[in-house]
């Protein structure tokens, strides 16, 4: 399917690795010019170079979106190559090791700044111009924990509920403008860091010795959905790319769950 992304420019925050990198690579392969963002200049440049080596168009924007100054720098770098048509707010963090007894109010404030306020900063800097041009796509990448919170990492779950809420509110704000706002509600994502952590967890619980053994074991918590496995980054990137496309014009204010039926 032709997603009609040629001539569009996309900023994918947190794209120096993981799902963000996969999304940037796919958008570029579909014809969009991508702005690869990260806090580490070397990692960010490496992803952009890989995109260009594959025949795509990519530039970089380096900065910490947790501060106004960092957001200013990222927006300026992104806009240096032209208007941004697509904003994918993917940057965020989580910590599976903490729970209600080990998180402090400072931890809550910090993860809200990273997972919620950083998105607001980029929306405020880039979306007004989309609105003025009469076309744009804003996509939040959240987690199903925002709808199905657990006792672990409660601050992460709450921040993801907020991400979904801000996407819906923004959609109301942008009604009749040609700019849409949606959120992808993600289940587990098999990025390299997750595979490493889950392999260690599986060994501790006797589910197998290698990731291949653990992933194939249907008695594990990793198979606790209707599909029976954790999602691959490309499966999420495909959905994000569709929402970034002109083909998704009739979808706005939606929270699209991509979680294997968790």
Residue 156 appears among annotated catalytic residues: yes
* Residues 67 and 44: beta-carbon distance below 8 Å: no
Catalytic: which of 6, 94, 156, 236?
A: 156
DSSP state letters, 12-24? ETT-SSHHHHHHH
* Closest CA relative to residue 219, chosen from 232, 206, 231, 204: 206
Q: Which stretches within 151-223 are classed as H helix?
A: 154-173, 192-204, 211-216
The angle subtended at Cα 252 by Cα 84 and Cα 128, nearest 5°, is 35
* Residues 234 and 223: beta-carbon distance below 8 Å: no
Under DSSP, the state recorded for 116 is I
d(CA 57, CA 35): 9
Catalytic residue set: 156
């Amino acid at each position: 399917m032709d997603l009609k992304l040629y001539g569009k420019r996309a900023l994918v925050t947190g794209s120096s690795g993981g799902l963000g990198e996969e999304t940037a690579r796919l958008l570029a392969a579909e014809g969009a010019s991508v702005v690869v963002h990260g806090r580490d200049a070397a990692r960010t440049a490496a992803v952009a170079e890989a995109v260009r080596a594959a025949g795509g168009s990519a530039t970089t924007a380096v900065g910490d979106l947790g501060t106004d100054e960092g957001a200013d720098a990222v927006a300026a770098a992104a806009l240096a190559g032209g208007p941004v048509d697509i904003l994918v707010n993917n940057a965020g963090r989580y910590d599976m090791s903490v729970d209600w007894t080990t998180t402090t109010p400072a931890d809550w404030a910090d993860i809200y700044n990273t997972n919620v306020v950083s998105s607001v900063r980029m929306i405020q800097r880039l979306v007004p111009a989309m609105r003025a041009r009469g076309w744009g796509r804003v996509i939040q990448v959240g987690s199903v924990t925002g709808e199905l919170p657990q006792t672990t990492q409660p601050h992460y779950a709450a921040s993801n509920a907020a991400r979904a809420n801000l996407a819906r509110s923004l959609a109301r704000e942008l009604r009749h403008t040609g700019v849409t706002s949606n959120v992808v509600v993600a289940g587990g994502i098999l990025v390299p860091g997750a595979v490493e952590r889950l392999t260690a967890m599986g060994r501790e619980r006797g589910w197998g010795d290698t990731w291949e053994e653990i992933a194939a074991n249907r008695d594990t918590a990793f198979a606790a959905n209707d599909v029976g496995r954790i999602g691959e980054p490309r499966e999420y990137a495909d959905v994000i790319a569709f929402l970034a496309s002109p083909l998704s014009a009739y979808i706005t204010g939606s929270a699209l769950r991509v979680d294997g039926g968790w």
